[in-house]
């Protein structure tokens, strides 16, 4: 045997003449680096092994192999986008203003990690691999590659869950994939929008699992909930009686409802067995019962990209515990003016422009590229927003817009190649952040059936507020942090909350939960806005 570091290697017994030579060379290597600590031990293998073992711990940096566990480098400065606990919007100890309307949005890049423990699978399925899907215990999910959303969903990688392990709530480590725990961290907001949920139309099993996951009051960071657990000792008290009563679950939080818009386009959303795109709106039951008029999809989208929540008139401060005390007139008992708004809150997963073909959803004929479809969606979304404002709604657009607005929103730089990305960015800025006249000449990839997208008219720009910039100015924070690269080394702010200009006094706060913990198994971080009484 001969030794290197602390490892013993077998040496051919048929070559004893080399033993002394190998031993002497190894001894010289050790003594040359540590001549002040050791003396040569010729002919004694065990002595050399002891020397190597001592040397490894005497000066680990100079001996190979290195320690198996990487040392934590506390002296390293945080990278761009690195979050500390002071950046988090709401915590259990510092809850949000209960009188405000709080909206969160998160591209989860696949719902599977969040519902695996709720999907009931027969024992036979664990022994019969399916060609259509992987085992629910694999923890795998598709990732985007950055080449466009037709091919984004093909890459898979293992998801690491940290539940029950020391440091599970460390911001630098991936958090448990739990919708209920996310809602709790967010301070039980009225609305949580999800994008890119990747649920196939008609998959009632997964849809049911999502409903269970958002109301599993027994879930904790240390253990995963099961579908049958949510039926036992989950609801513990109710503040009021009747429809829309506020029911608290075992974790102290309220109940939620969920609405889906899943892809139904037979030509543009058929990849991966239909498990592409898709959005969902998770809404507090008390808010739904007392303040929501309707939740609808739009006629110009069949890819499962858009939802709109239209509310009744809401006045601040918002009181969900006792909505009957909500004062809806111009003056409250204290004699101070009270604002009331109807909100149209749009959940969107915008098209990621690529050169891949876009086909007519009616005929299947190629009518343009995904870049063309992206521009068409900009026009259709603008037309929707302008129409809603004309009906008296305050419009809030929240989601993954798949566009970084300025140089502040991309690190180390903005995407400029191919040049069409620059044109897409300028088109979005012109339509949503200016009041310019917009020529809506029919785009090549417009939906056109049952919409006005095929008409040639002039609209004004939305002239909206980028709520994050409205609150934080030029601060550089990012919502898209791709996996497989060092956190903060390549990132963009492509998830946005854009509001009507008239809400400028009512934007209380806005932010990005930009940490590996809050990103979870996705490649996007949650974003949020808080709307409340107007600032004076």
Q: The tokens of 228 are what? A: 């049958």
Q: Rounded CA gap, 136 and 113, in Å? A: 9
Tell whether residue 509 is among the known ligand binding residues: no
Angle between helices 45-58 and 19-33 (to 10 degrees): 30
251 among known catalytic residues: no
Give me the phi and psi of 233, to 5 degrees please: 50, 40
Tell whether residue 524 is among the known ligand binding residues: yes
Identified catalytic residue from 161, 378, 421, 524: 524
Q: Rounded CA gap, 462 and 444, in Å? A: 22
Which 3 state secondary structure label does DSSP give 52? helix
**DSSP secondary structure string, 381-448?**
HHHHHHHHHHTTEEEEEEEE-----SGGGEES----SSTHHHHHHHHHHHHHS---EEE----TT---
Q: Rounded CA gap, 190 and 323, in Å? A: 14
439 among known catalytic residues: no
Q: Rounded CA gap, 216 and 224, in Å? A: 10
Tell whether residue 153 is among the known ligand binding residues: no
Report whether 341 contacts 394 (CB < 8 A). yes
Which residue do the tokens 């002394």 mark? 20
Q: Which helix (H) or strand (E) holds 48?
A: helix 45-58
400 among known catalytic residues: yes
Contacts of 464 (CB under 8 A, 6+ apart): 385, 395, 397, 432, 433, 498, 499, 500, 501
Q: Which of 348, 315, 354 has its CA nearest to residue 432?
A: 348
Q: Rounded CA gap, 496 and 403, in Å? A: 9
Q: Which helix (H) or strand (E) holds 260?
A: strand 256-261
- DSSP label of 160: P
Report whether 170 contacts 375 (CB < 8 A). no
Q: The tokens of 354 are what? A: 């690529």
What is the pairing mode between strands 191-195 and 279-284?
A: antiparallel
The Cβ of residue 262 has, within 10 Å, a number of other Cβ atoms equal to: 24
Q: Rounded CA gap, 301 and 446, in Å? A: 10
β-partners of residue 237 are 248
- DSSP label of 524: B
Q: Rounded CA gap, 199 and 512, in Å? A: 25
Q: Which of 528, 532, 529, 526 has its CA nearest to residue 195?
A: 526
Identified catalytic residue from 118, 349, 478, 480: 349
Tell whether residue 196 is among the known ligand binding residues: yes
Report whether 466 contacts 433 (CB < 8 A). yes
Greatest distance between any 2 Cα atoms in the chain:
103
Q: Which of 390, 396, 358 has its CA nearest to residue 377?
A: 358
Identified catalytic residue from 286, 372, 400, 409: 400
Binding positions for Mg(2+) are 196, 400, 402, 523-524
Q: Which residues are catalytic?
A: 349, 400, 524
Binding positions are 196, 400, 402, 523-524
């Amino acid at each position: 045997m001969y030794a290197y570091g602390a490892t013993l290697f077998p040496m051919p017994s048929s070559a004893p003449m080399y033993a002394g030579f190998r031993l002497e060379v190894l001894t010289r290597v050790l003594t040359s680096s540590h001549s002040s600590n050791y003396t040569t031990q010729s002919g004694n293998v065990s002595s050399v092994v002891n020397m190597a073992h001592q040397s490894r711990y005497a000066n680990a940096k100079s001996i190979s192999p290195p320690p198996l566990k990487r040392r934590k480098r506390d002296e390293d400065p945080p990278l761009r986008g690195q979050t500390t606990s002071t950046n988090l919007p709401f915590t259990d100890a510092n809850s949000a203003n209960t009188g405000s309307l709080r909206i969160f949005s998160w591209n989860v890049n696949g719902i599977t990690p969040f519902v695996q423990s709720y999907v009931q699978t027969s024992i036979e399925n664990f022994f019969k691999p399916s060609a259509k899907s992987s085992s629910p215990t694999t923890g795998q999910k598709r990732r985007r590659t950055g080449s466009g959303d037709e091919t984004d969903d093909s890459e898979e990688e293992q998801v690491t869950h940290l539940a029950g392990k020391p440091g599970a709530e460390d911001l630098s480590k991936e958090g448990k994939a739990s919708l209920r725990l996310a809602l709790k961290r967010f301070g039980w907001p009225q609305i949580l929008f999800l994008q890119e949920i990747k649920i196939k139309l008609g998959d009632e099993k997964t849809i049911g699992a999502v409903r269970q996951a958002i109301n599993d009051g027994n879930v904790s960071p240390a253990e995963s909930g099961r579908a049958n657990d949510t039926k036992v000792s989950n609801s513990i008290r109710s503040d009021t009686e009747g429809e829309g009563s506020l029911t608290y679950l075992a974790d102290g939080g309220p109940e939620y409802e969920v609405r889906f818009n899943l892809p139904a386009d037979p030509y543009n959303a058929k990849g991966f067995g239909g498990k592409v795109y898709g959005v969902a709106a998770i809404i507090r039951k008390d808010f739904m019962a007392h303040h929501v008029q309707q939740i609808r999809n739009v006629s110009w989208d069949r890819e499962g990209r858009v939802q709109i929540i239209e509310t009744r008139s809401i006045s601040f401060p918002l009181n969900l515990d006792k909505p009957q005390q909500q004062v809806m007139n111009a003056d409250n008992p204290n004699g101070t003016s009270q604002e009331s708004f109807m909100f149209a809150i749009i959940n969107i997963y915008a098209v990621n422009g690529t050169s891949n073909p876009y086909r007519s959803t009616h005929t299947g004929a190629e009518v343009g590229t995904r870049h063309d479809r992206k521009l068409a969606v900009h026009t259709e979304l603008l037309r929707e927003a302008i129409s809603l404002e004309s009906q008296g709604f305050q419009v809030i657009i929240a989601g993954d817009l798949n566009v970084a607005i300025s140089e502040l929103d991309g690190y180390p730089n903005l995407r400029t190649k191919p040049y069409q990305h620059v044109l897409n960015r300028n088109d979005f800025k012109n339509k949503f952040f200016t009041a310019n006249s917009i020529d809506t000449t029919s785009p090549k990839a417009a939906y056109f059936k049952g919409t006005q997208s095929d008409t040639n008219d002039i609209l004004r720009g939305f002239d909206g507020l980028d709520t994050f910039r409205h609150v934080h100015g030029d601060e550089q924070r990012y919502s898209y942090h791709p996996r497989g690269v060092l956190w903060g080394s390549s990132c963009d702010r492509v998830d946005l909350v854009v509001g009507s200009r008239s809400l400028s006094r009512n934007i209380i706060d806005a932010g990005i939960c930009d940490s590996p913990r809050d990103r979870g198994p996705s490649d996007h971080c949650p974003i949020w806005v808080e709307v409340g009484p107007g600032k004076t």
